């Protein structure tokens, strides 16, 4: 901001100097009485102008625009994540326990490996409501599945965000049921490490704490929008998890919604392999349920 001002003494000096110059000019001029009257009037007008000039500070300022409170944009935070948490579901199938999330259209998104060869799953919503969901379609390439629940609580459902806006070190939140723990969903906060393409599919690499059971749950931005679907992590490395990016997942889910897929049938060898995998994860009920379902 540039400001030009005369001090009190500077203004007084300027006024006095102007008066002296005018008085000298006036006394040095001869002429008729009428001419002198004109000069007196001119002198008065000049004195008045000088007084106004010196009594008001002259300034040149740069305006600063301050937005009104109504124009202030509130940052997203805890409220949005708390609301999003209500739309994350706990899933149980012959493959074990995992996570999923409800979309605004009433369908549930999860991982294909979470669904496995099951045709229906047990669903628990964030408010404790329980129902079942049938498998509508499965995309093994993107490791995604679309479920249709028999009942959906009111006012639930997440919206897609925009994964293309994510940058390294940006905060992301994973909500799910790690290790199949009972109770409400767990919330884990981390950051984006990078985006990486594996076998032609874009993933978001994150240092957010992810464990067995987080699979199929949403990866959210701070506004509670889905920017990825948690799919896999590296158990021998800390802070190395991956989620199918929103750009990939949204397109894949739209394709899944267009037509149902045929039921998947497990071979005897695959049954044994899955049984041993469930035992290794200490998912004993699911393991023996797998055998009893055949």
What HEC string does 137-186 produce?
EEECCCCEEEEEECCCCCCCCECECCHHHCCCCCEEEEEECHHHCCCCCE
Find, among 183, 186, 190, the residue nearest to 168 by Cα.
Answer: 190
pLDDT band of 76, cuts 50, 70, 90: confident
User: How big is the CA angle at 261 (ends 218 and 130), to the nearest 5 degrees?
Assistant: 50
Q: What residues pair up with 205 in beta bridges, in sequence order?
A: 194, 242
Catalytic residue check, 215: yes
Name the token pair of 108.
């549930």
Inform me whether the pLDDT recorded for 185 exceeds 60. yes
Q: What is the pLDDT of residue 268?
A: 65
| pLDDT, tens digit, 9 for 90 and up, residues 13-54 | 444 555 445 444 544 445 555 555 666 566 566 556 555 545
Look-up of token digits 């004993």: 284
pLDDT of residue 235: 62
User: Residue 66's pLDDT is what?
Assistant: 42
Q: Which is the catalytic residue, given 93, 137, 193, 215?
A: 215
Residue 290 binned pLDDT confidence (cut-offs 50, 70, 90) = low
Q: Which of 87, 139, 142, 143 is catalytic?
A: 143
Residues 104 and 106: their CA atoms lie apart, in Å, by 5
Active-site residue, from 113, 118, 186, 245: 113
Q: Residues 227-257: pLDDT tens digits?
A: 999 997 766 667 889 999 999 999 999 999 9
When pLDDT is cut at 50, 70 and 90, the band that residue 3 belongs to is very low
């Amino acid at each position: 901001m540039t400001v030009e001002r005369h001090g009190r003494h500077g203004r007084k000096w300027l006024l006095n100097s102007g008066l002296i110059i005018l008085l000298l000019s006036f006394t040095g001029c001869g002429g008729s009485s009428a001419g002198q009257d004109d000069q007196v009037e001119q002198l008065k007008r000049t004195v008045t102008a000088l007084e106004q000039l010196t009594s008001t500070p002259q300034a040149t300022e740069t305006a600063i625009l301050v937005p009104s409170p109504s124009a202030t944009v509130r940052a997203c935070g805890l409220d949005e994540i708390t609301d999003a948490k209500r739309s994350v579901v706990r899933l149980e199938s012959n493959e074990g326990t995992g996570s999923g999330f409800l979309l605004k259209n009433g369908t549930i998104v999860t991982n294909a490996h979470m669904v496995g060869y099951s045709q229906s799953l047990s669903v628990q919503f964030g408010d404790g409501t329980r129902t079942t969901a049938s498998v509508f379609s499965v995309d093994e390439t993107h490791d995604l599945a679309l479920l249709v629940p028999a009942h959906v609580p009111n006012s639930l459902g997440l919206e897609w965000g925009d994964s293309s806006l994510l940058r390294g070190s940006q905060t992301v939140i994973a909500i799910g049921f790690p290790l199949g723990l009972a109770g409400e969903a767990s919330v884990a906060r981390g950051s984006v490490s990078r985006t990486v393409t594996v076998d032609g599919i874009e993933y978001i690499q994150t240092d957010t704490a992810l464990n067995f059971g987080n699979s199929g749950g949403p990866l959210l931005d701070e506004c509670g929008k889905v920017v990825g679907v948690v799919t896999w992590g590296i158990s021998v490395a800390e802070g190395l998890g991956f989620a199918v990016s929103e750009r990939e997942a949204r397109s894949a889910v739209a394709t899944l919604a267009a037509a149902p897929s045929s039921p998947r049938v497990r071979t005897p060898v695959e049954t044994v392999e899955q049984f041993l995998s469930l035992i290794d994860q200490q998912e004993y009920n699911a393991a023996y349920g797998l055998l009893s379902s055949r």
